[in-house]
Amino acid sequence: MTSPPPNAPGPAAPMRPAGPFGHARAPGPAGTSRPASRASCDGKQHAADRAERVLWGAGRHSGGRAVAVLVCSVASALAALAEPAVLGRSLDLLLARDPGASRWVTLCAALIAAEVVLDALVALLTGTVNARSTAWLRQRALARLLTASPHHAARFAPGDLATRLTANATEAGTVPATAAGAAAALLPPLGALVALLLIDLWTAAAFLAGAPLLVLLLRSFARTSSGTVSRYQRAQSAMADRLVEALAGARTIAAAGTVVREQRRVLATLPELAAEGRTMWLVYGRAVARSGVLMPLLVCVVLAVGGARLASGALDVGDLVAASRYASLAAGIGAVAGVLGALVRGRTAARRTAELLALPAVPHGRGALPAGGTGTLELRGVTVLRDGKPVLRGVDLLVPGGATAAVVGRSGAGKSLLAAVAGRLVDPDEGSVLLDGVPLDSVEPGQLRREVGHAFARPALFGTTVGDTIAFGTDVPAPGAVRSAARAAGADGFVTRLPYGYDTPLADAPLSGGELQRLGLARAFAHAGRLLILDDAMSGLDTVTQRQVERALAHDVRPGTRLVVAHRLSSAARADLVVWLDGGRVRAAGPHRTLWRDPAYRAVFATAGAADA
């Protein structure tokens, strides 16, 4: 694979391949329609606008340091501009054996020293601004990602997210400092051109003859780089995403004997990545090569004209030296190509990072749940759409405080989505959810998460040790509460057999699927509030362990309302209320013994009932 040019984004990963869009038409205002191409252009413009706002925000975050970069860069540029004139004057005075020459030599040395010190400060400040801007972008993007509804965040594949938060955020974080130094980068060549005009019009005219070629070179470089960088970053993201998928499914791949095929799948975008990398190198290399030829040529022309003017007596030796140095500075406008390239890469990366910041955050109120509430849960006309189609349709449900409700139904009926809506992990598109008579979207988020607990079929474990995993949450329970929760979840037995018990590092604790679920249950029990939602959280437990957990849940865990997504007949039979979902609707709700009279209800447990038996 061809490596990208200096400062190009490093290898990362592409998004999952999108399906074909065909000739779809995007809706326009007032019920009209507009071509998909125009909608695409509008989308690109909105993405560009978002990227600009994000970059402005990053720049304001390090505003003082960015201004310092600009000031030091300008001061360094001014010192560089003054140096040829002072050097030329010093040379003339030295040749004339003027006593005042020493002062000019000292001034020349001071300018050189100042330029060195200022350049060092610019380098230090640039690194600081880059680090601060990158950290700001990552923190904002990650915060928005974590505060967005999970189904919105799920639009981005894991590998793609990793690329946006690492490589893309780093590239975008360089823009504020690069932009601050961009004005100073133009100052030496423009100032040198003015100095050439003041020294001698003929030498200036010789240099200006090649200026149009420089402008065309920079324009071509900026225009060609933008599209290439964007495609390179997308290819990076795709490869990273496939790699993450392969690592997550490493056991399945090994068991299926498809290692070679997966290698080919992960590396399928490598030719595209290599092609875009070569293109980036070619664009960059051509710009450098052309400027490398053009710049010295222009300097030679200026020296030739200056030499002729010196021979005719129109110029002094000092003027010729100054003119040659100014011609070199003016020729440095070709270095602006590097600045342009960095800005192009940074703005392209900022668009990808800004897409995370555009995720809609879940809004929260500042209200409070009533003290002493029993956890009465009510859903009123709840409808949830996915891709424009209803998955839950007009759900009306009332679960009395302190009751245990089992949610049952065939696969795809919407059970897990109902649980997510009940705990406000997902907001309904229509309708409302109330806890003890208070709409969940009006409750202060800290109290909401203290009073509504969740346990999942495949819990994600966080924390350094096993004990930290159980304690993980908004409030840190007492050590005794951690162990009590583990006992209630049937986890204390295997945890105490670990090398260091609850202090065993999580990475050193080999866990089966059932043990993983029990730790997830223990975490939920340790933080149990007035509503506890178990989304298929006991599917990995054997029947005996499940019954032990259910008894502990009834007697040892803080009293409150339980909403249990269940597949086993035993779970439904022990519940106070069964909510039977069918096709996203509540087909029936009532005691298990009443619903059992319906053959269609019994058919839901045909497989689960045999397993229980």
pLDDT at 314 exceeding the cut of 50: yes
25 or 73: which leads in pLDDT: 73
pLDDT at 334 exceeding the cut of 60: no
15 or 256: which leads in pLDDT: 256
Report residue 338's pLDDT band, with 50, 70 and 90 as the boundaries. Answer: low
Ranges 14-23, 43-52, 174-183, most confident: 174-183
The mean pLDDT value of the chain amounts to: 80
Which stretch of 346-350, 368-372, 473-477 has the lowest confidence by average pLDDT?
Answer: 473-477
Report residue 28's pLDDT band, with 50, 70 and 90 as the boundaries. Answer: very low
Sign of CA dihedral 569, 571, 574, 576: negative
pLDDT at 349 exceeding the cut of 80: yes
pLDDT at 219 exceeding the cut of 70: no
Q: Mind listing the pLDDT tens digit for each residue in 421-475?
A: 999 988 999 999 999 999 999 999 889 988 998 998 888 888 889 998 898 886 7
Class of domain 43-357: mainly alpha
Cβ 486 vs Cβ 465: under 8 Å:
no
pLDDT at 523 exceeding the cut of 80: yes
Strand, helix or coil for residue 347: helix
* CB-based burial, 395-431: b 16+ in 10 Å, e otherwise: bebebebebbbbbbbeeebbbbbbbbbbbbbbbbeeb
> What residue spans in the chain does CATH classification 1.20.1560.10 cover?
43-357
pLDDT at 149 exceeding the cut of 60: yes
pLDDT at 36 exceeding the cut of 70: no
Residue percentage of the chain with pLDDT more than 70: 83
Angle, vertex CA 376, rays to CA 370 and CA 382, nearest 5:
110
51 or 133: which leads in pLDDT: 133
DSSP 3-state percent helix, strand, coil across the chain (nearest 5): 65, 10, 25
Q: Mind listing the pLDDT tens digit for each residue in 525-584?
A: 988 889 999 998 888 888 888 888 888 888 888 888 999 998 888 889 989 999 999 999
pLDDT at 381 exceeding the cut of 90: yes
Report residue 164's pLDDT band, with 50, 70 and 90 as the boundaries. Answer: confident
If phi > 0 it is left, if psi is from -120 to 50 it is alpha, else beta; for residue 383 that is beta
Which stretch of 166-175, 224-233, 290-299 has the lowest confidence by average pLDDT?
Answer: 290-299
Closest C-alpha among 312, 561, 299, 533 to residue 416 = 533
Which stretch of 44-48, 194-198, 307-311, 601-605 has the lowest confidence by average pLDDT?
Answer: 44-48
pLDDT at 293 exceeding the cut of 90: no
pLDDT at 258 exceeding the cut of 50: yes
241 or 591: which leads in pLDDT: 591
> What residue spans in the chain does CATH classification 3.40.50.300 cover?
377-612
> What token pair was written down for 607?
């497989």
pLDDT at 593 exceeding the cut of 80: yes
pLDDT at 321 exceeding the cut of 90: no
* CB-based burial, 155-175: b 16+ in 10 Å, e otherwise: ebbbbbbbbbbbbbbbbbbbb
Return the CATH number of the domain spanning residue range 377-612: 3.40.50.300
Cβ 508 vs Cβ 539: under 8 Å:
no
Residue percentage of the chain with pLDDT more than 90: 20
Give the Cα separation of 301 and 296 in Å (integer): 9
Give the Cα separation of 189 and 184 in Å (integer): 10
| Helix axis angle, 63-95 to 101-147, nearest 10° | 160
